[in-house]
Amino acid sequence: MAVLSEEQEMLRNMARDWATKESPVSEFRKVRAAGQPQAYNADAYAAMAEMGWVGIIIPEAHGGSDFGFSSAGLVVEELGKTLTASPLVATTIAASAILLGGSDAQKAKWLPRLASGETVATLAIDEGAHCDPSAIETSVSGGKLTGKKAFVHEAHGASLFVVAAKDGLYLVEKGDGVSLTTRKLTDQRSHADIQFAGAAAEKLEGGGDSLLGDVLDRARVLSAAEMLGMAQAVFDTTLDYLKQRVQFNQVLATFQALQHRMADLFADLTQMRSAVEAGLQAVDSGFGVARAATIAKAEANRVLHAISNQGIQLHGGIGMTDEFNVGFYLKRARVLEASWGSSSYLRDRFARLSGY
Amino acid sequence: MPTQVESDVQTSEDAFRTEVRQFLATNFPDELKGTGNMMAGLDGPTDENPVQKKWREAVGGRGWGTPTWPKEYGGGGLTKGQARIIEHEFAKVGAYNPIGGMGVMMFGPTLLEYGDERQKLEHIPPICRGEIRWCQGYSEPNAGSDLANLQTFAVDKGDHYLINGQKTWTSGGQWADKCFAIVRTDRSDKHKGISFMLIDMDAPGVEVRPITMISGTSPFCETFFTDVKVPKENLVGKEGQGWTIGKRLLQHERTNISGGGRLAGMMGQSLGDIAKKYCETGGDGALVNKVLRDKIADLEIRWNSFLLTARRAVEESKAQGGVSEISSVLKKVGTKLAQDRSELLIEIRGFQGLGWEGDEFGDDELEDVRGWLFGKAATIYGGSTEVQNNIIAKRVLGMLDHQ
């Protein structure tokens, strides 16, 4: 855990307290049982906005607290631990796009609404099953945007989309010319393909040529923070289980084979935390963001992948049951691993950034 | 506005910084700029030239090579803040700390904690002046990871002990003046039968044989003790306290092996840059062999996380005022990554990366081959990876003892 300021510690404790008491995994089970495509509890999201969590990266002038990504990451990590379903990450990333590329008028119009929770927003970038920002066909003509976006996170709850077109990022409101097709993924959260057919679009003119890449890097570090919380939760739950479960008249935690496997996973988790925290800090400092975000997400992918698999293996048969939570983490893990860059995509990007 | 106390501290730090700069201007010779500390190395004898000797005496005389050690024993008697100023100012002008070796890294801190007044006065000042080389008498042929199984025995002969037995993996034993050793004084109790003693390497009955390693070098020795007399005043602590004292010393050793800086130094050039010299690249400058390129990126990403982890361990230790639990993974992770890197370097260079000797090979190529071989020791010494895993499972994760 990075060394925190007093404010950050309060924020983290508040988020931990809320997630544990108000949003344990049983709340996600309720969301799942309700079967709504939006796949989150609107009251819970309103409470999160009320506590100021959507506005953490938004300047005070626009209704936020301007605490930065490191602070946002603390909250997202705690929510990841309990698999809290909400559009907090999606909206925060969309807000960062408006902050980086929006005009004063766009910021004044949208940021307060995002911070208050009134408007949910999300990124609509990729057009196929993989992260590939170089393969965008969506185009804009006369202020009308046309194209197809695939597997958009939190699409059902969102009323504002940050859409990638060939010549940059655009804001598109849900309405005429925007139609959703629900895509049910294994994590049972909100995902949809979106058809934009001449939808009214307003360009984010600022931010320069690197705007899309910069926004994706922010998506990477914040998703990595969610993954960090998930990895920590699976690790802790598995360790607790090994200390309770008895076989051959022995607690499993006394078996050296399992001790060494947990020591390996603990080392991996330590590495992941260092990479993720450094990624968040890099966004706040503005220094070496592309590289730090790539390392953060690559390590998050590698380690959560391993821990989510070992979580099942070490729980044994009960880990395979729907009654136990560990499987939920596995399913959400793979969706987040595929988001904003798979492991191979990120290693390729790291090599490119390093010049080989 | 800074408080009065803060501004007083600031003023005294500025004054000390000026003192260090003046000292360097007067004493540090240009010709030593950027050269290393010979005394701290384990793989070569001390062949000090007069210029190096003068520099060592200048630093050692002030106790600045061991800045935070007490002044009455030859240390600098300085605060941690002042020690950092010395480190910064030395680094700025490319000056090395001429005081080092196992005496500084491991033995000194342990003796300061457990030694009696007379022992501290006798042994600490020569360490601070860089005059005495210490070696470590710990491992034995049948006491490696199971160190407490050691059998070298010290018989009480009234005014002295008589020692018989064998130590092994004695780093730098062939060049050492003295040895701090753990020996058995009681066979009835595995841990409480161990005592911590100081042995003169010149004493009759001490024989040192260098061991040739797979890398072709001989940094370690076998040390044999045959009826070696050790005066009673060379017992540190009480009889039977050796395991406690010896373990404390190992904590100092681990901190040094895993020190991020030292490992960071091992990872000089980017593997990607090296690969571009040995392997085909395309028009875009990227390696054509995508599988190799992927392996390199994977390793370098993990290496970057390790450096971040090492940095985090330091920051957290400072903030918490104790050793961070992260430090328990540093040795295990750092040594493994360094080995992986050496293996990948061979894949990158092909046969050219497997040279043993010959002018057809570059110095860096030959050094890396020896480094690859010698690097296999890193996951064995200082508590093997398996022992590290036991420690993490038991002390950090609270998993029960498997024995």
A139: left (phi over 0), alpha (psi -120 to 50) or beta: beta
Percent of chain A with pLDDT over 70: 100
Q: Identify the CATH assignment for B134-240 out of 3.40.50.720, 3.40.50.1400, 3.30.750.24, 2.40.110.10.
A: 2.40.110.10
B401 pLDDT higher than 80: no
Check residue B108 and give its pLDDT.
95
- Beta partners for residue B230, in sequence order: B161
Q: For chain A, where are the alpha helices, taking DSSP H only? A: 6-22, 25-34, 42-50, 69-81, 88-101, 104-116, 211-244, 256-285, 289-315, 326-338, 343-353
pLDDT band at A223 (very low <50, low <70, confident <90, very high): very high
- We find that the CATH architecture of domain B4-100 is Orthogonal Bundle (1.10)
- List the end-to-end C-alpha distance of chain B, in Å, as a whole number: 59
Domain residues of chain B, as ranges? 4-100, 134-240, 259-396
Query: A96-125, pLDDT tens digit by residue?
Result: 999 999 999 999 999 999 999 999 999 999
B169: left (phi over 0), alpha (psi -120 to 50) or beta: left
Query: Taking residues A53-72, what's their average pLDDT?
Result: 97
Beta strands in B220-272 (DSSP E): 220-231, 235-236
| Fold entry, domain A211-353 | Butyryl-CoA Dehydrogenase, subunit A; domain 3 (1.20.140)
In 3-state terms, what secondary structure has residue B18? helix
B38 pLDDT higher than 60: no
Query: Quick one: tokens of B139?
Result: 């491992």
B247: Cβ contacts below 8 Å, ≥ 6 apart? none
Is B305 in Cβ contact with A271 (below 8 Å)?
yes
A221: Cβ contacts below 8 Å, ≥ 6 apart? A69, A73, A276, A279, A280, A282, A283, A292, A293, A296, A297
Min Cα distance A344 → chain B (Å) is: 8
Mutation choice for A interface testing from B269, B271, B289, B301 by most A CBs within 10 A: B301
Check residue B217 and give its pLDDT.
84
Give CATH 1.20.140.10 domain extents, chain A.
211-353
B7 pLDDT higher than 70: no
What stretch of H or E contains A250? strand A250-251
A63: left (phi over 0), alpha (psi -120 to 50) or beta: left
Encoded amino acid at B302, one letter: R
B68 pLDDT higher than 50: yes
What stretch of H or E contains A243? helix A211-244
Residue pair A351/B286 in contact by the 8 Å Cβ criterion: yes
Query: B198-256, pLDDT tens digit by residue?
Result: 999 999 999 999 999 998 888 889 999 999 999 999 999 999 999 999 988 887 776 66
Angle CA B88–B90–B95, to nearest 5: 145
Min Cα distance A121 → chain B (Å) is: 32
**Cα gap A239→B29, rounded to integer Å:** 57
Check residue B260 and give its pLDDT.
41
Is B400 in Cβ contact with A254 (below 8 Å)?
yes
Query: Quick one: tokens of A244?
Result: 């309770």
Residue pair B299/B328 in contact by the 8 Å Cβ criterion: no
pLDDT band at B32 (very low <50, low <70, confident <90, very high): confident
Angle CA B174–B180–B184, to nearest 5: 115
Query: Taking residues A72-96, what's their average pLDDT?
Result: 98
Query: Taking residues A69-83, what's their average pLDDT?
Result: 98
For A278, name the nearest residue in chain B, comparing CA atoms only: B308
CA B5 to chain CA centroid, nearest Å: 37
Chain B hits for A314, Cβ within 8 Å: none
Closest Cβ opposite residue B301 in set A266, A270, A295:
A295
Catalytic hit among B89, B140, B239, B253? B253
Query: B300-349, pLDDT tens digit by residue?
Result: 999 999 999 998 988 887 787 766 778 789 999 999 999 999 999 999 99
Which DSSP letter does residue B39 get? Answer: T
Query: Taking residues B281-305, what's their average pLDDT?
Result: 96
| B316 close contact with A: CB closer than 8 A | yes
With 0-12 / 13-18 / 19 or more C-beta atoms within 10 angstroms meaning exposed / middle / buried, residue B368 is buried
Cα pseudo-dihedral A305, A306, A309, A313, rounded to 10: -170
Check residue B264 and give its pLDDT.
47
In this chain, the answer to whether the domains covering B4-100 and B259-396 adopt an identical fold is no
**Cα gap A236→A238, rounded to integer Å:** 5
Q: Identify the CATH assignment for A6-116 out of 3.50.50.60, 3.40.605.10, 1.10.540.10, 1.10.10.10.
A: 1.10.540.10
Give CATH 1.10.540.10 domain extents, chain A.
6-116
B113 pLDDT higher than 60: yes
Tally of CB atoms within 10 A around A69: 24
**Cα gap A164→A106, rounded to integer Å:** 17
Whether B300 is catalytic is no
Pairing of strands B178-184, B134-137: parallel
Query: Taking residues B41-47, what's their average pLDDT?
Result: 53
Residue pair A269/A231 in contact by the 8 Å Cβ criterion: yes
Check residue B269 and give its pLDDT.
78
Query: A129-166, pLDDT tens digit by residue?
Result: 999 999 999 999 999 999 999 999 999 999 999 999 99
Angle CA A304–A310–A316, to nearest 5: 145
| Fold entry, domain A121-203 | Butyryl-CoA Dehydrogenase, subunit A; domain 2 (2.40.110)
| A5 close contact with B: CB closer than 8 A | no
Residue B357, phi then psi, degrees to nearest 5: -160, 170
Check residue A25 and give its pLDDT.
98
Min Cα distance B175 → chain A (Å) is: 37
- Does domain B259-396 fall under CATH 3.40.190.10? My reply is no
Mean pLDDT (chain A) is 97
pLDDT band at B257 (very low <50, low <70, confident <90, very high): low
**Cα gap B109→B103, rounded to integer Å:** 8
Check residue A127 and give its pLDDT.
98
Check residue B43 and give its pLDDT.
42
Is B309 in Cβ contact with A347 (below 8 Å)?
no
User: Which value does ipTM take for this structure?
Assistant: 0.94
